[in-house]
Amino acid sequence: MKVTGLFSAMRWTMSGLNNEVKKMDVISENIANADRAPDAAGHIYHRKVVVPEKPKFGRKASFADTMALKLRKDEPGHLSSMLETDGPIKLKPGEAAPVKIEEVKGEKLVYNPGHPRADENGYVHMPNVNVVEEMVDLVSTSRTYEANVTVLDAAKKMAKHALNI
C-alpha cells in the first residue's frame, strides 16, 4: 500500500469505525436476546459473533499481516500487506476489511420446572449468551471505536494545519 496522505488515513479509520459499529450491533442483539425463551417450534436464539474472514493464503497470517502494517524493507516509503501482495483479496483505502457474522451453536439449561417450555426434567433450553461476557466485549469494542475517532480527529487537525501552511 502506498502511503498517499491524510485522506487515506481518514478512509482507513472510517473502515475501522464501520467494523466496530457492526460488532456493537451484534453485541446489542445478543444482549437483547439473552433471556429469550424458545419459540413455540422450539427454536433457540444462538449467540452471534463478528469474525474476520479467513485470509486465503497458503500459511497462517500473522498479526502484522492481518492488520496490514508489515513494513516493506526494499521500498521504505511503502507499507505492504498480505492482503495486497500474496492473496486474492485487495482492499482499497476506506474499504472495510471483510468480516462475517457467525452463530455460535449451543444452549444453556436453566432449571425452571414451572416454565411452559420446560422439558420433562424441568429444564428450559435458553440461549448461550452470557451477558457479562457481552458487556466486556461491548466495552472493548467501544474503546476501539473511541481510539478510531481519536485517530480521525488527529488526521482532520493535521489536514487543517496543512491547509494553513
8 Å CB contact between 151 and 13: yes
pLDDT at 158 over 90: no
- Predicted TM-score (pTM) of the model is 0.69
pLDDT at 133 over 90: yes
List of residues 6+ apart from 89 with CB closer than 8 A: 53, 55, 56, 83, 98
> pLDDT (tens digit, 9 = 90+) per residue, 48-103?
999 887 655 445 555 555 555 444 444 444 444 433 444 445 555 556 567 888 89
How much of the chain exceeds pLDDT 90, in percent?
Answer: 33
pLDDT at 155 over 50: yes
Q: Name the CA dihedral angle for 72, 73, 78, 82, rounded to a multiple of 10 degrees.
A: -10
